[in-house]
């Protein structure tokens, strides 16, 4: 798609963007040549990258459906991704029209798409600017607090967010502050892990160096410590494809090749 067709004014389209790279891996059209170039380089190193992106996306959908079944009607979706079919807002409002959703990000392209998607849902949705590296700050935003009632259950989704926080102790502290802000609430998270192929970490890091954000793959034990403030529901911390797959979901022969650990926790 040509940039002039949809790009917000002033947005840098020459710097690869992690949200648009993810969109390309999912088969979306809201990406540019710089994003596709990085994605294709990544596919050469990790051929399963498309599958991994798809399984990440499907996990988020299953987690939201689970939470709707638990009675949750308030969601704060924080992360570097473009709104797409099967995302948090789509699943939540499809099952519960009264659901309230905050979509928070720092990328202007992501925010522009979110505002377009949420047009017509006045009173039940909000697009908020936020630094994904400070996810806990979203709960302190006055606009967010006007929409979301923190005396009722709230689910915060950190989809591919925590691995952008370089310091593990800082990431754990942010999760602890979220826990304190979410009495009776939930945390949904995904986190890239290099455990299946630690030797590829340097190559992947080099590919992503020109982008607007670097990430740090961590081991299972370190990720578990970061989210330890929350009590994980079954099956605990697992690869995305292994978290409560449905009977019609694609079966992944080697779940570790999703390179992404995930879970849902209760405060």
DSSP letters spanning 159-210? ET-GGG-S-HHHHHHHHHHHHHH-TT-EEEEEEE--TT-GGGHHHHHHHHTT
Taking CA atoms, 118 is separated from 62, 102, 243, in Å, by: 21, 10, 28
Q: How far is 16 from 34, CA to CA, in rounded Å?
A: 5
Domain 51-196+216-266 CATH class label = alpha beta
pLDDT value of residue 121: 60
pLDDT value of residue 202: 63
Are 189 and 227 in contact by the 8 Å Cβ rule? The answer is yes
Q: Which helix (H) or strand (E) holds 264?
A: strand 260-266
Are 58 and 240 in contact by the 8 Å Cβ rule? The answer is yes
pLDDT value of residue 2: 43
pLDDT value of residue 194: 79
pTM: 0.90
pLDDT value of residue 18: 84
- Token pair belonging to 124: 């039940």
266 bridge partner residues: 186, 231
pLDDT value of residue 14: 82
pLDDT value of residue 68: 98
| Per-domain residue ranges of the chain | 51-196+216-266
Q: How far is 58 from 62, CA to CA, in rounded Å?
A: 6
Phi-psi map region of 99: left, alpha, beta (phi>0 left; psi -120 to 50 alpha):
beta
Residues in contact with 110: Cβ distance below 8 Å, sequence separation at least 6, in sequence order? 19, 80, 81, 82, 83
pLDDT value of residue 3: 43
Q: What is the pLDDT along the chain (267 residues), one digit of tens a residue?
A: 444 445 655 567 788 888 888 999 999 888 889 999 999 999 998 999 999 999 999 999 999 999 999 999 999 999 867 777 788 988 999 999 999 999 998 888 778 777 776 666 667 889 998 887 788 889 999 999 999 999 999 999 999 999 989 899 999 999 999 999 999 999 999 999 977 665 555 666 667 666 656 677 899 999 999 999 999 999 999 999 999 998 988 899 999 999 999 999 999
SS3 13: coil
**Percent composition of the chain: helix, strand, coil (DSSP 3-state, to 5):** 45, 15, 40
Residues in contact with 148: Cβ distance below 8 Å, sequence separation at least 6, in sequence order? 74, 76, 100, 102, 154
């Amino acid at each position: 798609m040509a940039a002039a067709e949809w790009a917000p004014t002033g947005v840098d389209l020459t710097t690869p963007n992690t949200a648009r790279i993810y969109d390309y891996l999912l088969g979306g059209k809201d990406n540019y040549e710089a994003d596709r170039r990085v994605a294709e380089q990544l596919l050469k190193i990790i051929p399963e990258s498309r599958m991994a992106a798809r399984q990440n996306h499907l996990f988020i959908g299953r987690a939201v459906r689970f939470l709707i079944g638990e009675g949750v009607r308030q969601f704060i979706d924080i992360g570097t991704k473009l709104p797409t079919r099967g995302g948090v807002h789509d699943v939540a409002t499809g099952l519960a029209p009264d659901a309230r959703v905050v979509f928070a990000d720092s990328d202007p392209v992501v925010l522009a798409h979110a505002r377009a998607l949420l047009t017509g849902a006045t009173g039940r949705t909000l697009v908020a600017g936020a630094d994904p590296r400070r996810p806990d700050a979203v709960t302190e935003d006055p606009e967010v607090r006007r929409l979301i009632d923190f005396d009722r259950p709230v689910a915060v989704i950190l989809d591919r967010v925590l691995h952008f926080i370089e310091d593990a102790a800082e990431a754990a502290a942010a999760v602890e502050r979220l826990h304190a802000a979410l009495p009776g609430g939930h945390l949904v998270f995904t986190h890239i892990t290099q455990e299946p192929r630690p030797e590829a970490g340097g190559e992947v890091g080099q590919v992503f160096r020109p982008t607007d954000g670097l990430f740090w793959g961590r081991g299972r034990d370190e990720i578990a410590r970061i989210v330890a403030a929350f009590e994980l529901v079954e099956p605990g911390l697992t690869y995305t494809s292994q978290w409560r797959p449905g009977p019609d979901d694609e079966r992944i022969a080697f779940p570790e090749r999703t390179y992404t650990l995930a879970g849902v926790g209760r405060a």
